[in-house]
Structures are given as structure tokens and as C-alpha cells.
A and B are shown apart, each in its own frame.
Chain A
Amino acid sequence: QQQVKQSPQSLIVQKGGISIINCAYENTAFDYFPWYQQFPGKGPALLIAIRPDVSEKKEGRFTISFNKSAKQFSLHIMDSQPGDSATYFCAASGNTPLVFGKGTRLSVIA
């Protein structure tokens, strides 16, 4: 049973556009929601994370929006750049090891 459902599987965005990736979860015990970025041949790297006491967190061009009642959260990448082309994973935990979504492969084209 997949605990974190991520969509879309892949995404193509024009340079300068906004990339949006969505995640949904079922377990209400989850209280930590990070996004990881992974380049080919590398391990995932923490990008940004949020806890359910806030509805939005912004770090540079990256924003997490969190909707506790809908049990959904999303990653927005503003002014997307070719260097952002990577696979993005949402994840969740609640005093348990992180569980990851299946990933979104983002391609930013010039």
C-alpha cells in the first residue's frame, strides 16, 4: 500500500515557467513533509520541508503548499531553470522512517 501518492510521473516545463508537483497522503500521524531532489547517479538531496502547523513555506524559488484537511501538499518551482531538471520525490514521516512517493521526472526546456 503506497502511503504517499505523487503526481504527475513526468513534467515538461518551459524555462522561466512554474513547475508544480503534487502529493497526497493517508496517514494522519505524519507530521513532517519534505521534498527531495535527485540527479542521475546521485542520492536524493533534501530541498525543502514543512510541518503541518503552517500552510506554506518558501525558500528561494521553491515553495511548499500544505493542505492539512485535504491531506495534500505540493511543490512549486518558480522561474524553472534547465538546471532544475531532475527527479523530485515527496516524502512523509511521523516518528517513523521517511516514506517516499514514486517520483516526478522534471524536464525544463529552453
Chain B
Amino acid sequence: DTGVSQDPRHKITKRGQNVTFRCDPISEHNRLYWYRQTLGQGPEFLTYFQNEAQLEKSRLLSDRFSAERPKGSFSTLEIQRTEQGDSAMYLCASSLARQGEKLFFGSGTQLSVL
């Protein structure tokens, strides 16, 4: 399977704990995006990378959120001091820079903060 891969698929954590998610994009894709989706809503943009560079961050992304893509391949999204409002599906997508808008999504990581 050469699609976008996300790990874990599900994460349950207690409020105040830190969590980290991983995304492996389609291998030849140089752009990688993080979106968040809550029940009954469309995906909301969080941040994106082109290669290693983080090019844009949404105002939705509080200081507790940090994303990295150290070698321009996989990416991690860390949430520190989780809050109940962080409960959501975290979606990763990738694309080719020359087809930037054509996003391929992974199946997401469902986060539940108790």
C-alpha cells in the first residue's frame, strides 16, 4: 500500500498528558499537511510542510501543538498538556508541490481526551 499512513489509528489519553502522532506520506510527495476534523465538521487546516520547511500554520494551532518533518519524509504532530477540546480526528495529507491542491489523505488518528 503506497498511500498516506498514520499511526496510531486511535489514541485515548488523560487530560494533561502529551501525545504524538506520526504520518508517512506518499513517498514522492514533497508536501505534507495536517488537518483536524471534529464530528459533523469538515477538515480544518492546521499546518503544512514543503520538504522540511514548515510553510504555514493556522491560527487554530495553539502553542501546545508542534509539528516537525525533520528529513522531509515522515512528520510528527505533538500535542502537549492535552485538553478535552483536543478530541478530534487528526488527518494527514500529502501532495506534489506542482499539484499542491490535490491532496491525498490518510485514514487519520482519532484522539479521545478523557
Taking Cβ atoms with an 8 Å cutoff, the residues of A that contact B are: 4, 6, 32, 34, 36, 41-46, 49, 89, 91, 93, 95-103
Contact = CB atoms under 8 A, between A and B. Distances in A.
Contact of A32 (B33, B93, B101, B104): B101
Contact of A44 (B44, B101, B102, B105): B105
Contacts of A42: 107-108
A2 B93 CA distance: 21
Interface of B: 4, 33, 40-45, 48, 56, 91, 93, 100-108
A92 to B, nearest CB: 9
Contacts of B43: 44, 89, 98, 100
Given A96-B56, A100-B43, 16 more contacts: A42-B107, A43-B91, A43-B105, A43-B106, A44-B105, A45-B105, A46-B103, A49-B102, A95-B100, A97-B33, A99-B45, A100-B44, A101-B42, A102-B40, A103-B41, A103-B42
A43 B105 CA distance: 5
A43 B40 contact: no
A101 B105 CA distance: 16
A46 B104 contact: yes
B42 A46 contact: no
B107 A46 contact: no
Given A42-B107, A100-B44, A103-B40, A93 B101 contact: yes
Contacts of B48: 97
Nearest to B44: A100
5 closest residue pairs by CB, A with B: A43-B105, A100-B42, A97-B45, A32-B101, A93-B101
B108 A43 contact: yes
Contacts of B102: 34, 46, 49
Interface centre among A46, A49, A95 (most CB of B within 10 A): A46
Nearest to A34: B101
B93 A43 contact: yes
